[in-house]
Amino acid sequence: MYIILFLTVLIFLPIGGNAKDIIFFQDDKLTKSFDVEQFKKLAALQKITVLEPHENKTLTYQAISVRSVMTELDSNWKNYEDIQFLCMDGYKPSYAISKFIEEEAYFAFEIEGRSEFVIYDRFKQGQKTKLGPTYLIWAADNPEISASGWAYQIVGIEFISFQNKYAEIIPDNNVSKSVADGFSEFRNRCLPCHSLKGLGGGVGPELHSPVSVTKYIKPSYLKQWILNPASIRENTKMPRIFDNSKHDEAVVESIITYLQWLQ
């Protein structure tokens, strides 16, 4: 596992000036790579005007359709189950392919009226955030796809079967509803940043191996941390993900139940 992780890291290290900006994997194999200019040419450049969730402001992007890009990458893309993006900072969100059939999404490269390809992220005190090489944007105002679904600094695209790739951490069918719900919440809210058993994103630390967080953090503190990390560590780099809505506590409890089940 660690060898694979190490190799993955090596692939992402820029090598001189020849490194490709965006690489494409199929079933764990690197099959294509592009610099931004080549990637842009995979589909027709369009002007897309949408509400930017990180700024809560309507912006116009130069972008290409994700569906068209996927068709160029592999004409049978609809037969895959999931797509996973790799971002420069280790963020690794995954989505069911069906999401891209239901909703129109785009890879963006430029914002009209801005000389730099950046946003001012209201979830990070308005911090200026670079978006290139490319930024995943969504056309519909779908509350299910919150700002966390707008992945920036995408450097890798991968067609996967989530069921196969993440088999080691997916609960089987006979677990309690709370474990099953907890996993589904963990997948959406935590897995893009954290790994379990080496599987998942690399923005935050591994949470399971070799010792699970549920073994050394008391459940009450773990719950407090997940709800509001800064209430435990003043200068923590983990953002606050929950915003005090009424189901938050139940969601966090199910996540902890899932982590205890896995421990």
**Which residues contribute to the site for ligand HEC (CB under 6 A)?**
189-190, 192-194, 203-205, 207, 213, 222, 225-226, 233, 236-239, 241, 255
State the residue number with the nearest CB to ligand HEC.
204
What sign does the CA torsion over 221, 222, 223, 228 have?
Answer: positive
Least distance from ligand HEC to the Cβ atom of residue 197, Å: 15
Least distance from ligand HEC to the Cβ atom of residue 189, Å: 4
Nearer to ligand HEC by Cβ, of 111 and 190: the residue is 190
Contacts of the segment 227-235: beta carbons below 8 A, 24+ positions apart: 227/252
Q: What is the DSSP letter of 240?
A: P
- Could you give the CA distance from residue 154 to residue 105 in angstroms, rounded to a whole number? 14
Nearer to ligand HEC by Cβ, of 104 and 185: the residue is 185
Beta bridge partners of 22: 34
Burial class (CB in 10 A: 0-12, 13-18, 19+), 120: middle
Least distance from ligand HEC to the Cβ atom of residue 78, Å: 29
Nearer to ligand HEC by Cβ, of 29 and 237: the residue is 237
Of the candidates 127, 121, 105, 122, the residue with the CA atom closest to the CA atom of residue 61 = 105
**Count of H helices and E strands in the chain?**
9, 13
Nearer to ligand HEC by Cβ, of 69 and 226: the residue is 226
Least distance from ligand HEC to the Cβ atom of residue 222, Å: 6
Least distance from ligand HEC to the Cβ atom of residue 74, Å: 29
Nearer to ligand HEC by Cβ, of 70 and 252: the residue is 252
Q: Which two tokens stand for residue 167?
A: 């088999």
Q: How far is CA 129 from CA 6, 122, 214, 241, in A?
A: 27, 10, 33, 18
Nearer to ligand HEC by Cβ, of 49 and 231: the residue is 231
Least distance from ligand HEC to the Cβ atom of residue 242, Å: 8
